[in-house]
Amino acid sequence: MNEAGIRQAIAESSSAQTIFIGTEFGGIPGKNWIDVPVRRFEEIRRFTPKTIRENNPLSELDRISDHQDILTIESLEVKEATQESIAREIASLAQQLNTKEVWREKEIVEILKEAEHELISIGHMVMQPLETVPSKKNEPLPK
């Protein structure tokens, strides 16, 4: 993570009540900081790498101002994931997974076990005959 990323991480984990230590070096939150999810820090690190590769698409972005400490990227089009699009993605990924091979790889099975309940529910859902599944969300179940 570069210096701008460090400043952004400190800014996001600080509040008005935060007590900084090491102020001669810019300071880091020492007391009363805000909990920030690890994923957010990983995102900051990803967008503010220590070294930028020449083929990095982010290196071609124009900065609005040279005085900016933090680079903000806004998406022009945000696609909201629907239940249907998520189901299509899960089906596509399931078809790509080589189940004859991965059951022998403990690391992969551990990853799948993180969503064990959800995967079992999905498996149970798809085992039901289609005739018993309503075609619309609020439609009563067939008898």
Statement: residue 26 has pLDDT above 90 = no
Mean pLDDT on 72-81? 64
Please classify residue 48 by burial: count the beta carbons closer than 10 Å to its beta carbon, then call 0-12 exposed, 13-18 middle and 19+ buried.
buried
CA 30, CA 20: separation in Å to the nearest integer? 5
What pLDDT does 63 receive?
Answer: 47
Q: Are residues 45 and 87 in the same domain?
A: no
| Residue 102, pLDDT score | 85
Domain span including residue 34: 3-60
> Considering its fold, how many domains does the chain have in total?
2
What spatial distance separates the first Cα and last Cα of the chain, rounded to whole Å? 59
Give residue for tokens 């460090």: 6
Please report whether residue 78 resides in a domain.
no
H-type alpha helices, the chain = 3-12, 38-47, 83-96, 99-102, 106-113, 116-127
Per-residue confidence (pLDDT) for residue 114, from 0 to 100? 93
pTM across the whole model: 0.41
pLDDT at 81: 80
Residues 55 and 7 in one domain: yes
In a domain, 118, yes or no: yes
